[in-house]
Structure 1
Amino acid sequence: MTTQNLLVELFVEELPPKALKKLGDAFATGLFEQLKAQGLTSGDTVVTPYASPRRLAAHISHIWLKADDKPVQIKLMPVAVGLNAEGQPTPALIKKLTALGADLDLHDPAAVLAALQRAVDGKAEVLFYNSVVTGATLDVGLQKALDEAIAKLPIPKVMTYQLETDCALPGWSSVHFVRPAHGLVALHGAAVVPVKTLGLTAGRTTQGHRFEAAQPVLELAHADVYADTLRTQGAVIASFAERKAEIARQLAAAAAQVGNGCRPIEDDALLDEVTALVERPNVLVCQFEAEFLEVPQECLILTMKANQKYFPLLDAHGKLTNQFLVVSNISPADASAVIGGNERVVRPRLADAKFFFDQDRKKTLESRIPGLAKVVYHNKLGTQGQRAERVRAIAHGIVQQWSLATVPFTLDDKDHFDVLDSKVQQAALLAKTDLLTDMVGEFPELQGIMGGYYARHEGLRDGVAIAIEDHYKPRFAGDALPRNHTGTVLALADKLETLIGLFGIGQLPTGDKDPFALRRHALGVIRILTENQLPLELPALLGVAVDAFGDLIEPPTHTVLDFMLDRLAVSLREQGYSAQEVDAVLALRPTRMSDVAQRLAAVRAFAALPEAPALAAANKRVGNILKKADAEVEPFVNVDLLQEAAEAALSAALLHVAPEADAALARGDYTANLKALAALKAPVDAFFDQVMVNAPDPVLKANRLGLLAKLHLAMNRVADLSRLAA
């Protein structure tokens, strides 16, 4: 018996474009996994998913017509339960075998005993029944796989529709699926596999492009001709990946044809969505009136992308041009009607954007401040106006913290921080006012960006305008940080206000649900502090934010700090640091995010030393000893009580190493701090080999515990080295 390739296709009405790729991959993967679980695949099986606006399909190679039979051993029960004193089957055993459908004459004790096997399992002797499971046939196995794959599809919203029943009694049946399904293909090689789903029976016919297929119905002679038949006769590129690559190629070619270094805007999500909207793409160049370019390009780009699924063209300097690319689903000989239609459709959208922009500029941002008092931010946290006041208070506190951390502090520094505070206060009050503009009302994604434009139009200081524009940054992973100090402070204040406020009213993220993007806000604070190397203490910043809320919330400082350190741990592991390295550094709960990277580098350098494993293990042992002490141990040693040579040597080594390590720590050289500890390996090893810590004499024991506490303190200034122990 040889394998054949399998083709399964569901032909449906237009699928939701944003979900198409995920649906296609899930359909193919679900079929494969179920067929594999039933033994119908081989080691050479390859899965190829297909997904177009009107079809989900999968080509799965090397599928058996029937799976091999499999011997199985079934555990029954202890011998003492299954056999009586005479060694004969008990009623309990017969009942169990009956339930299993054992192919035995259960009335013949000799036949039953011959089919059983006795073996020791744990402490008891147990009876096992050896049987053979007949391998699944493809028609049964594919039916099960198809049912499972459809049931597990990540459908964003299920539709219910009616099908006329095919039974003797007239009537209608309800079907639940993402879109109404109209065809099912299931081919194993050239043979149809008789499976059914969604009220459909499998055949070998499908349909091509709605308008450009060579014929309305396409007959598939073999599973392997699916993609070629659709391409040549159906005018459809069935593969999502191939269609996406073809669109990207045509976009680049069309931009090159326009010239002047033009390029289509890069947006993978838009490319995926357009790929899910067309079956045979045809990219066309369109244009709009140049006068619309007076509107901020972010507005024009967003309306073209979000509303029309167009690809705006940027020039060599990244500036928007008045040309754009359309991905059409038809390829007429004369495309002028398609081009003209798209140009007519986009014009009102751009006119709306220009109208919003012109109207918004008739009112200043400052004049909109009172209106924030009428916009509810959260029913437990008040209005956007109250929020703006809290952000302003937090921003002022951040500037104060920054000035206090600047050492040495000069008069020039004072002037700088006074000016910074003035800019931050102004920006904080104006930052949310663009929420009241028509443009942001139409395109919420432009909040902050439009505030920056309107601030510059009013002639506000450029630092303030940039801060208003940047205070949401970083908006997502990999996004740029605020570009100036004013924006940096305002972004920190805005994110801290969100974190403290929502944690303070119990709105914590749960599982995958994070409706207020608190994880993103936490990582944003960490990135700003870390990448800007700001000399600010995170607990102090959280305290400033808590103070801004007064009695409105319960202070959640420690909870938020734990949450942020957890997010930092995840981020560091994603950056390539090992779990041990991250745990070692974060175990000390560092308060200054700007030096976490240096601590990690120091831990990595220390771990590479030959002395590291022994010192890490010793540090873990010391920590355990100190935890078991009757009371908290002070790091103090009375040298007159050092009786053993090994403890005296360790004390002397500490007196020599500790000042060197502390000096390195004071100048921020964490690597030198940890490397200095390498000199302690020999005296630490000798101490544990030759000295009894829990001496009978309580005074001697206390002194030795004090020596270990002093060692523990010296070794764990940069990181908890015990976390590096195997």
Structure 2
Amino acid sequence: MSVQNLLVELFVEELPPKALKKLGDAFAAVLLEQLKAQGLASVESQLTAFASPRRLAAHITAVAPFAADKAVSAKLMPVAVGLSADGQPTPALLKKLQALGAGPEAVAGLKRALDGKAEALFFERTVAGARLQEGLQKALLEAIAKLPIPKVMTYQLASGCAQPGWTSVSFVRPAHGLVALHGSDIVPVEALGLQSGNTTHGHRFEASVDPVVLKDADSYAETLARDGAVIASFADRRADIVRQLNAAAALIGNGVRAIEDEALLDEVTALVERPNVLVCSFEEEFLGVPQECLILTMKANQKYFPLLDAAGKLTHQFLIVSNISPADPSQVIGGNERVVRPRLADAKFFFDQDRKKTLESRVAGLDKVVYHNQLGSQGERVVRVRAIAKAIALQLGGEALALQADQAALLAKTDLVTDMVGEFPELQGTMGRYYALNDGLGVDVADAIEDHYKPRFAGDTLPRNPVGTAVALADKLETLVGMFGIGNLPTGDKDPFALRRHALGVIRMLTEQNLPLDVTALVEAAFAVLGDKCTAPREASVQALLTFMFERLGGSLREEGYSPQEVDAVLALRPQRLADIPKRLAAVRAFAALPEAAALAAANKRIGNILKKADTVDPHVSTVLLQEPAEIALFAAMQQVTPAAQAQFEAGDYTASLQSLAALRAPVDAFFDGVMVNAEAIDVRLNRLGLLQSLHNAMNRVADLSKLAS
């Protein structure tokens, strides 16, 4: 055999659709990785992964029938241990050689070389390269063992396998076939009780032949498509579904388009082997139900693609992706229309029933809904959220906004006890808005009920009005202080209450909406509302939560492209107005580009170290005690520069403030060159420390510049 392309396929029963792509990619990647490690594949080898509902496969180019021999040098032991005084091998050396498959005759060929300070014996030999059969066997077993299987099944081998019914096998689904082709040659390997061959199976109902015979590795996808009616490639099948969805929507016309949902598209791709998109419809009377309800039930329960008009409104038509292509699709269309109708009728029933009661009448029902065994019911939680929301709204918009925020916070969780949200929890907030409008509440309050969950995920929109912002901040802060207050903190990758997401949501609202709120004051006020529910030490919990939030903020800023030094410099001061942080970062970046920046940052770091070693330092400076020309010059420069820098800082012009300080570079350098800070006279020493403290304060208003020092 020469270097040829390799194909490996596992034919199994229907794989879990949500895991299919990950399984296919992992299976192929580990196969290639293992073959490369054994020298059977190279860096030039190209990998193509295949994954369909009933198969995992990999096509790898340029796979050798055997790997090249390798020269191996094995360190044995120090010469003094391996050889006697007269040069004869010791029993220890002979035993070591025997373990490596060599006899006493190998002693003469041992190499001597320094190993540290002592001379050691090395056994050099040539190891034969792996043969493809043994190498692929190892790679296949490794690929199966490393599959990210969501849940393992255990089953007994079927008839036709070695010892059928006697051996149990554990795998994601029962396996029924194994293909291993190197070019057109079968590579004899086995796995899961199966022997490799060159046959597989196509579509359950539409394959033209069964089994499907594969003549060689390169004809795999083509043969399966022609004889087996299967598009083996996940990517190709997905692209075909997208093409058919777009074509079907275009035929309907009037700007109609299929709803975009990447997760749904991946799941449907994993459910079909040869997709066939068909147009179905339902009675238009169901369009009186909020479209979010209809869309959710069609996507989640039926895996259908709802159709939206040019304005984004749901139409009474939808698309299905069938796994069969009958000459007359009417039976398939009719069957799917009959299946979806009860789902839509349920949604309509829930909607009609829920509107018979106002949201306000449901408030008392929240007392029966457990939120957390240490934090009480949802009703108790609503009381806390109302208090926090009202306090925030008072700062943002006065009494009028506070009244609206209080009403929205009171009603925000009431849709949890509606029939619709009971059936579709994903609609919490969304249904609250519809029911609030039905109750005749204002649009601002209704929008706030929906928006108080925002942002739900990274990149999600923020609340659309100040009422929603106040309630959303309150809701997230209540969750954060509640969990920190009982010591229920995230650990590692475990964050069951999504505290990281809640913290980032608070951060985004404070920064992106430019809110004039101090983060520490917010956290302290929220903890005060928690009352005796806080079982952890209050002050320690406040500081732990603030640290947690600033860590999340730091990570987010680094992801946005700011350097670690820039982020550390700004966040070291823990600015209370998070909305100021982007301006501070821009100022630090501009300052770092100045020629004076490096020297000033280094001096700032030096000053910080000096002040740490001193006791509490009074920044007051007495001009009478200034003796050296360099300290007099520095004080004079500060008198001229720092008032302007302070005024610019207070005006919010952080860039100008830092750039003004650049003028201090020369007098600062001269000070450290010509002045001894720790003078013998205590009054002079304290005065110089006061001068440095004053300088340190002036330099670190925008950011801790010492963080920029290399």
Name the TM-score, length of structure 2 as normaliser: 0.96
On the 8 A contact 2:611/2:693 being kept in 1, the answer is yes
Are residues 1:71 and 2:55 paired?
Answer: no
Q: What's the secondary structure of 1:550's corresponding residue? A: helix
254-263 or 65-74, which moves further after superposition? Answer: 65-74
2:579 paired residue among 563, 583, 594: 594
C-alpha deviation, 1:517, in angstroms? 1.0
Paired with 1:470 and 1:358, the residues of 2 have a C-alpha distance of 23
On the 8 A contact 1:164/1:173 being kept in 2, the answer is no
C-alpha deviation, 1:725, in angstroms? 1.8
Paired with 2:233 and 2:419, the residues of 1 have a C-alpha distance of 42
Paired with 1:708 and 1:232, the residues of 2 have a C-alpha distance of 82
C-alpha deviation, 1:72, in angstroms? 2.7
Are residues 1:436 and 2:421 paired?
Answer: no
- Where does residue 220 of structure 1 map in the other structure? 214
One-letter code aligned to 2:9: E
Are residues 1:209 and 2:203 paired?
Answer: yes
Q: What's the secondary structure of 2:129's corresponding residue? A: coil
Distance 1:444 1:127, change over 3 A: same
On the 8 A contact 1:616/1:724 being kept in 2, the answer is yes
Distance 1:241 1:167, change over 3 A: closer
Paired with 1:80 and 1:607, the residues of 2 have a C-alpha distance of 60
C-alpha deviation, 1:159, in angstroms? 0.7
C-alpha deviation, 1:687, in angstroms? 2.3
On the 8 A contact 2:5/2:60 being kept in 1, the answer is yes
C-alpha deviation, 1:507, in angstroms? 1.9
Distance 1:513 1:112, change over 3 A: same
- Where does residue 663 of structure 2 map in the other structure? 679
2:300 paired residue among 290, 298, 306: 306
- Where does residue 559 of structure 2 map in the other structure? 574
On the 8 A contact 2:366/2:377 being kept in 1, the answer is yes
- Where does residue 344 of structure 2 map in the other structure? 350
Distance 1:381 1:68, change over 3 A: same
- Where does residue 188 of structure 1 map in the other structure? 182
Distance 1:630 1:365, change over 3 A: same
- Where does residue 368 of structure 1 map in the other structure? 362
One-letter code aligned to 1:233: D
Distance 1:303 1:639, change over 3 A: same
Paired with 1:525 and 1:484, the residues of 2 have a C-alpha distance of 15
Q: Could you give the per-residue CA deviations for residues 278-310 of structure 1, whole angstroms, max 9, x where no partner exists?
A: 111111111111110000000000000000000
Paired with 1:168 and 1:526, the residues of 2 have a C-alpha distance of 61
Distance 1:713 1:78, change over 3 A: farther
C-alpha deviation, 1:67, in angstroms? 1.3
Distance 1:655 1:453, change over 3 A: same
Paired with 1:120 and 1:522, the residues of 2 have a C-alpha distance of 55
Paired with 2:79 and 2:671, the residues of 1 have a C-alpha distance of 57
Q: What's the secondary structure of 1:387's corresponding residue? A: helix
Paired with 2:345 and 2:65, the residues of 1 have a C-alpha distance of 62
Distance 1:656 1:124, change over 3 A: farther
1:648 paired residue among 621, 632, 646: 632
Q: What's the secondary structure of 1:427's corresponding residue? A: helix
On the 8 A contact 2:36/2:43 being kept in 1, the answer is no
- Where does residue 116 of structure 1 map in the other structure? 111
C-alpha deviation, 1:78, in angstroms? 4.1
Question: Sequence identity of aligned pairs in percent?
Answer: 70
One-letter code aligned to 1:606: F
1:252 paired residue among 213, 222, 246: 246
Q: Could you give the per-residue CA deviations for residues 644-698 of structure 1, whole angstroms, max 9, x where no partner exists?
A: 3222222222222211111111011111111112112222222223333334444
Q: Could you give the per-residue CA deviations for residues 322-372 of structure 1, whole angstroms, max 9, x where no partner exists?
A: 111111111111111111111111111000000000000011111111111
Q: Could you give the per-residue CA deviations for residues 604-638 of structure 1, whole angstroms, max 9, x where no partner exists?
A: 111111222222222222222222x2423333333
1:179 paired residue among 169, 173, 184: 173
On the 8 A contact 2:27/2:147 being kept in 1, the answer is yes
- Where does residue 651 of structure 2 map in the other structure? 667
- Where does residue 477 of structure 1 map in the other structure? 458
Q: Could you give the per-residue CA deviations for residues 67-122 of structure 1, whole angstroms, max 9, x where no partner exists?
A: 122223333444454455555544444444433x153x33x6xx52641322142x
2:621 paired residue among 637, 649, 653: 637
Name the TM-score, length of structure 1 as normaliser: 0.94
- Where does residue 689 of structure 2 map in the other structure? 705
On the 8 A contact 1:117/1:130 being kept in 2, the answer is no
Are residues 1:39 and 2:23 paired?
Answer: no
Paired with 2:572 and 2:84, the residues of 1 have a C-alpha distance of 60
C-alpha deviation, 1:568, in angstroms? 1.0
Q: What's the secondary structure of 1:238's corresponding residue? A: coil
Q: What's the secondary structure of 1:172's corresponding residue? A: coil
Are residues 1:688 and 2:669 paired?
Answer: no
Q: Could you give the per-residue CA deviations for residues 689-725 of structure 1, whole angstroms, max 9, x where no partner exists?
A: 3333334444433333322222222111111112222
- Where does residue 56 of structure 2 map in the other structure? 56
Q: What's the secondary structure of 1:266's corresponding residue? A: coil
On the 8 A contact 2:162/2:193 being kept in 1, the answer is no
On the 8 A contact 1:448/1:471 being kept in 2, the answer is yes
85-94 or 466-475, which moves further after superposition? Answer: 85-94
On the 8 A contact 1:282/1:328 being kept in 2, the answer is yes
On the 8 A contact 2:161/2:193 being kept in 1, the answer is no
- Where does residue 28 of structure 2 map in the other structure? 28
C-alpha deviation, 1:533, in angstroms? 0.2
Q: Could you give the per-residue CA deviations for residues 472-519 of structure 1, whole angstroms, max 9, x where no partner exists?
A: 011111111111111000000000111111122222112122111111
Paired with 1:322 and 1:355, the residues of 2 have a C-alpha distance of 18
Q: What's the secondary structure of 2:10's corresponding residue? A: strand
- Where does residue 236 of structure 1 map in the other structure? 230
On the 8 A contact 2:73/2:125 being kept in 1, the answer is yes
On the 8 A contact 1:164/1:172 being kept in 2, the answer is no
On the 8 A contact 1:47/1:59 being kept in 2, the answer is yes
Are residues 1:339 and 2:323 paired?
Answer: no
On the 8 A contact 2:50/2:58 being kept in 1, the answer is yes
Q: Could you give the per-residue CA deviations for residues 534-566 of structure 1, whole angstroms, max 9, x where no partner exists?
A: 010111111111111111112321111111111
1:158 paired residue among 152, 155, 158: 152
On the 8 A contact 2:573/2:703 being kept in 1, the answer is yes
CA RMSD, 1 decimal: 1.8
- Where does residue 410 of structure 1 map in the other structure? none
On the 8 A contact 1:165/1:173 being kept in 2, the answer is no
Paired with 1:131 and 1:539, the residues of 2 have a C-alpha distance of 68
Distance 1:520 1:228, change over 3 A: same
- Where does residue 502 of structure 1 map in the other structure? 483
Q: What's the secondary structure of 1:221's corresponding residue? A: coil
* Structure 2 runs not aligned, ≥5 long: none
* Structure 1 runs not aligned, ≥5 long: 404-415
- Where does residue 380 of structure 1 map in the other structure? 374
Q: What's the secondary structure of 1:397's corresponding residue? A: helix
On the 8 A contact 2:429/2:450 being kept in 1, the answer is yes
